[in-house]
Amino acid sequence: MAKTARPRMARSGVDRPRLFQLLDQATHKPLTVVRAGAGWGKTILVSAWAHTRAAPVAWLTLDSGDNDPQLFWAYVIAALRAAGALSADNPLSELTSVPHDERERGLRMVAGLSRLPDETVLVIDDFHLIEDRQVLDEVGALLRHPALSVRLVLVSRTVPALTLHRLHAADRVSEIRADDLAFTTDEAATLVSGYGLALSPDDVTTMLNRTDGWIMGLRLGAMFLAGGARSVADFAGDIRGVDEYLTDEVLSGRPPRQRRFLLETSICEQMSADLVNAITRNTDGQRMLEKLELDNDFVTRLGPQPLWFRYHHLLRDVLRHRLNLERPATVPKLHRRAARWYANRNSVIEALSHAVRGEDWDYVGRLITGQAGPLILTTQRAALVNILRQVPRERLTSTPELMVGDALLLFHSGDYDAIPVRIARIRDMLRTRPADTRDPAEVLLMALQVAAHRAIGDMPAVVDLETELLALLARSPFHDGAAAAAYRAIALNSRGLGLLWTGQVDRAARDLRAASAAAEAAGVELAHINAAGHLALLEILYGSAAEAARLAAGTRELAERRAWRYTLQAVAAHFAQALVHLERNELPAAEEAFQQGRRAHESDPEAAQRLVMLGVQARLALARGRPRQTRSLLAQAHVDRSLRMYVPALDDWLMLLEGEADLAVGQPERVEQRYLQPRAGRIPGLAHQVLLARAALARGDVRRAERLLAADPADPAGTVATVTAAIAGALVADGHGQATRAVDLLAEAIPAAVREGIRAPFVTMSGTRLAALFDRLRLLDPQLAATATAAGIIDGLHPAGRADGAMTPGENLSGREAEVLRYLPTMLTAGEIAMDLGVSVNTVRAHMRSIYRKLRADRRSEAVARARETGLL
């Protein structure tokens, strides 16, 4: 009998031992449900698995005529008999007809099914065809019987309409679903290779994504590709074989209302009840989606709650193809409804995409100027550009709002010179419009101009235009307060960085802090990341290194959480972090942050950020002892610059780095020559004064170095420059023979360096002289020297102690002994020293005896001589 014969069908051609193991484990429970839609390989799998079983496996294939209790159970008995599972003493073996009475029928079936051989399996295929309530109730009752020995496997396209909650609660049901049956990458590669195809790993992955691992989809795709010179990208649901299969298996037999629902909602990639209600103009969206999900595995719930759903990719292709064939005039209307639903929920990309597909050009223009335009400066830029490119060329010049879309495309392509002409034309067309419709478009145009100015580095134009834009926003041209708040945050951010790179540090700090706060309040996190990143750069260059570290780390952590590590807006934070690591002399960490910044910069380059990138890279090379590479990198900063580029603060910083490279190669005279050039104009701040002082010191001109360090800086000094100045001052004092003053200046530098985590200046100016100053500091202030050592400040300094490693005389002087030592070269007596220090004469004499012992001296004059030899005096 065909109904009880185990299918002898061709297997998938792929060994799938993982699924055999899954079935082995599943059938330890009384009921196993293998549930998936058409073409998922359910029957193939269970049939192949049955062939591996030693115990009896009875097989019954149902059809729609089996919805009768007596007929159903008669076929079950026939299947068991055909499998050899009914022994002679089994009550079912001699049964010639199934009892008509429900109770007697139940008792007979329980008695027989309880006396089957151990591990007997009964497979019932196509169980979804059983709709008769009596049959379903009797199967459910049988499964709840404790004496049942048979293991039942139901193969079904839908959830069996059985009352299984008790079995589920008792953990007596196993389920194998489409997710389990879906092919893996390796299995898919093996399957398509059976068709003589040698697909690349990327093509196999594409096939798998298109089909969701659906075996029939993979087979149809493989046959399609084997049929001629075609690519995986050409494989879609509207291919004849796929279309026919899914139409027959999924669409045919559907009620007209359900079929219409499937067609109309296929315009969306993902669906919620509210969305489909808006599209279909009905109210039963939730019920329809949940029913379709239960009916087949071509409708998938997204997440644990039944809120969002999607159609299988190939089914959606089929549905859209059918919709275009059967109801082409309806398609634009459906898209327009979807566009407005998404726009009302601020899902701008989806709204714009549906509006374009619905050819609702006036609404497309309003979306561009009202909501979509600013996305050109966000991570959604690529999606926006892709949609705008779908607008016919003639439409992009038909209204001023659509022409804004054309200007956005010019900006994306980098054609900044063409933007002013396009904007002038748009403004001319807007001139006659009322202010309430003109101003939103004007805001977007100004924002676009600013972005173009930023791209080429015209910072004065950025500052001026953003000031004008902020004034316009103050008049509230937007009905949507959220859009106005977002534009204000973006405008403050751009003006802040414009002020920063034109050297107006205090104003820049105010704007960038305001931008960061405004962006957070408006939910414009990318603008917040950009503002906070530039604040970190401002701090490391002009303020606190510790604050820069805090800002950069927090900003990068936020960018990482949002998967925005390599966006334009995160570049400044990466480079600020690299500079922080450089000041801490943490070169591997600096390199890592730099590489992340460079990758982010290259995704969407801006001229000013290019200079920062070259500067950070140059500092890395210099820290690694490669001054010639440093010079080469800095030379690149002077080429390929727009004539409109104006970033004096960046140019000053790069000039500092050039001077550092000059000192590193022993050419201090070139440092002063740079500041004599007209472009330098003036010495902008303490960092430049220190650089010139170091150059003078390198040339042996100690007096000039002293004068430079004594002059008041033109600009406020940051912590790095202040620490560097103190170290340079210590070296200058030491050059004058002022040993005590030199140690005092070095002592001034250490607390700030420890607090701010600054080490690089100590390494840059290291040498025997600075190491000798640290040796003196150890004698005079051991606690401060220990603090510097613990902070890693003296790492890399050349030791100034004895070559044989013996202890330097005087190394363990206490703080009070160091004070007394300073009096010994004078003519003061022990009593006069005691009065000056406010201690007893006996205390002073005790300190003097200890000093003589530690300096290995026998008298006061000898102790003074030893102290001078070792640099203590």
Give the mean model confidence (pLDDT) for residues 258-265: 93
pLDDT beyond 60 at 69: yes
The rounded Cα 493 to chain-centroid distance in angstroms is: 22
Cβ distance 142 to 84 under 8 Å?
no
The helix or strand, by DSSP H or E, that contains position 299, with its residue range, turns out to be strand 299-302
Give the dihedral sign, CA 386/387/393/397.
negative
Cβ distance 123 to 50 under 8 Å?
yes
Considering the chain, what percentage of its residues have pLDDT values greater than 90?
39
> pLDDT tens, 457-510?
999 999 999 999 999 888 766 666 777 888 899 999 999 999 999 999 999 999
With bands split at pLDDT 50, 70 and 90, how would you rate the model's confidence at 261? very high
Q: What's the pLDDT score for residue 807?
A: 37
Taking alpha carbons only, the member of 62, 58, 61 closest to residue 82 is 58
> pLDDT tens, 144-180?
887 678 899 999 988 888 877 777 787 888 999 888 9
Residue 676's CB is within 10 A of a number of other CB atoms, namely 7
d(CA 813, CA 817): 6
Taking alpha carbons only, the member of 501, 508, 512 closest to residue 649 is 501
Q: What's the pLDDT score for residue 92?
A: 87
> pLDDT tens, 830-851?
888 888 888 888 889 988 988 8
> pLDDT tens, 339-383?
999 999 888 999 999 999 999 999 999 999 888 888 887 778 889
d(CA 502, CA 509): 13
> CA-CA distances (angstroms) from residue 189 to 195, 277, 561?
10, 41, 34
Residue 726's CB is within 10 A of a number of other CB atoms, namely 21
Q: What is the C-alpha end-to-end distance of the chain, expressed in Å?
A: 113
* Residues composing the chain: 873
pLDDT beyond 50 at 800: no
> pLDDT tens, 589-612?
999 999 999 999 987 788 999 999
Amino acid residing at 39: G
Q: What's the pLDDT score for residue 804?
A: 32
d(CA 811, CA 797): 18
Environment class of 565 (CB within 10 Å of its CB; exposed 0-12, middle 13-18, buried 19+): middle
> pLDDT tens, 631-665?
999 999 988 788 889 999 999 999 999 999 998 88
With bands split at pLDDT 50, 70 and 90, how would you rate the model's confidence at 677? low
CA dihedral 345, 349, 354, 360 (to 10 degrees): 90
pLDDT beyond 80 at 615: yes
Give the mean model confidence (pLDDT) for residues 805-826: 69
